[in-house]
Amino acid sequence: MSLIEPGDIKHQFNSARSWMKESTTADLDISVPVAKPIDPPAETAASAIAPKLKAGLSDKLSQAVKQDKKLPKTTSSPGNSGAVAAGQYDRMIEDMIRNESQAEIIQHVIKVERTEVAALVKQVARAKGRYLATLLESSKGKSVSASSIEDLKQLRDTHEELQQGLNDLRRHIMDGTVMVEGVRN
């Protein structure tokens, strides 16, 4: 998820470059030479530095989370070299959310069996079938009652929630956060 507007790419790149100049390699645990670009397109320059910047931030954040330390406090004064740009801070928050979510998922979802996933798939299909059958049944009458509409809403919400949960589970299986017995990543 990126919160960078198309016109802000060059600004974000310059912000990242200045942050990297101010940070020492000991802070980042990476060695990244910073060179002044020769007016390359903004997308190319930003996409070239983004993985290195993200790796440095992820390492720093994961170390802070592991050591149960808070992130360094920053002030909003313009002369403070420890201040971070809003876009950079947003990426740091995104990394913290991802790391915390993965830790919680790993802690609570110990082992998933294929039969559990198959049962969830059947439940999603059953909910969809019930919703569509009720929808078609309601079309047979000349008028639709308020209770029929409420039933449809509840069945649709149930199906959508189960479908979203199944999609989330699939995403976590693919990224290796959730391990399914007999499936390797």
d(CA 66, CA 50) in angstroms, rounded, equals 24
Mean pLDDT of 54-68: 52
Would 83 be classed as within a structural domain? yes
Query: Cα separations (Å) of 30 from 10, 35, 53, 90?
Result: 23, 16, 9, 21
Q: What is the pTM of this model?
A: 0.51
Q: What is the pLDDT of residue 93?
A: 97
Mean pLDDT of the chain: 74
Q: What is the pLDDT of residue 33?
A: 47
Based on the domain organization, do 126 and 159 belong to the same domain? yes
Instruction: Domain count for the chain, please give it.
Output: 2
Based on the domain organization, do 67 and 126 belong to the same domain? no
Per-residue pLDDT band at 20 (split at 50, 70, 90): low
107, 139, 164 — which closes off a domain? 107
Would 183 be classed as within a structural domain? no
Q: What is the pLDDT of residue 82?
A: 78
Would 185 be classed as within a structural domain? no
